[in-house]
Amino acid sequence: MGKPIGIFDSGIGGTSIWKEIVKLLPHEDTVYLADSANAPYGAKSNEEILRLCIKNTELLLQKNCKLIVVACNTATTNAVDYLRTNYDVPFIGIEPAIKPAALQTKTKKVGVLATKGTLASTLFHSTSKMFTEGITVLEQEGTGLVELIEGGQMHAAETRALLKRYLDPMLEQQIDCLVLGCTHYPYLVPLIKELVPPAVRVIDSGEAVARQTRAVLEKHNLEEEPKSSIDHWFYSNTKSDILASLVSGPSVSVEYLDF
């Protein structure tokens, strides 16, 4: 068996990225770490987020991963530079999809829903500045949403009410693109579609991350040959059925691991 792709997130959100990766790279084995015991990362200090990212990276390297996808905007914007400098494997990061939103907006107003940790990061601000000349970016912290999703409340009335509170002010300002700057949020798309007019584009980075993963594997000659049996290992440090409900399938195993 070849080496797997490693993926980590503060919890189950990065499975939205994992789904895009396996769609595009069906011959690759994967190892996914859901650090749910430490979710949410978004409210933590930069030092604390970095410490958690190092812990996750070391475990994925122990599991022989050839490339690591940091499937978390908060972790990427706070730690990916450090990880790239200090470890030999390639890292793929994820950042809010500001560029496609800036290219598509007609009202010149773009909303970004993300965690406090992402919105406060230097990397988010430098990327945002690079692509948004003449465009107003309305930033909204999604406080509480990660916890609701981790608790499986993707369709709950409480989640809908909180989302409405966050989205309405941006809609009043005439945004026509809404960037989902957290990998947990694609699980809220059914609710978001109920709350925003059809003319508002909802944009996430999942597909782009999968394409970038493929490009980097190719560049480093790390792609797996087609093979008959694939394995996807999921490890979570909390005992909950939600992760298993999101990733079930024949080659999937979900286990509790204290990390």
- Least separation, in Å, of the C-beta of 43 and ligand DGL? 7
- If we measure between CA atoms, which residue out of 79, 109, 74, 111 comes closest to residue 95? 74
**Residue with smallest beta-carbon separation from ligand DGL:** 42
- Least separation, in Å, of the C-beta of 41 and ligand DGL? 4
Q: Which residue in the block uniquely carries the two structure tokens 């949410």?
A: 40
Give the pair of three-digit tokens for residue 12.
């189950």
Among residues 53, 65, 177, 182, the one annotated as catalytic is 182
Closest to ligand DGL by CB, 53 vs 72, is: 72
How many alpha carbons fall within 13 Å on the CB side of residue 88? 4
- Least separation, in Å, of the C-beta of 74 and ligand DGL? 4
65 in active site: no
Whole-angstrom CA distances from 58 to 8, 21, 63, 79, 199 are: 11, 22, 9, 14, 44
Closest to ligand DGL by CB, 120 vs 222, is: 120
- Least separation, in Å, of the C-beta of 144 and ligand DGL? 10
53 in active site: no
Closest to ligand DGL by CB, 3 vs 19, is: 19
The Cα–Cα gap between 166 and 29 comes to: 38
Among residues 53, 65, 72, 177, the one annotated as catalytic is 72
Closest to ligand DGL by CB, 49 vs 137, is: 49
Chain centre to alpha carbon of residue 1:
27
The Cα–Cα gap between 230 and 101 comes to: 35
- Least separation, in Å, of the C-beta of 61 and ligand DGL? 21
Site residues for ligand DGL per CB under 6 A: 9-10, 13, 39-42, 72-74, 115, 118, 146, 182-184
- If we measure between CA atoms, which residue out of 64, 77, 37, 91 comes closest to residue 233? 64
Q: Are 107 and 175 in contact (CB under 8 A)?
A: yes
Segments of 94-189 assigned E as strands: 109-114, 136-141, 177-181
Closest to ligand DGL by CB, 66 vs 184, is: 184
Catalytic residues: 72, 182
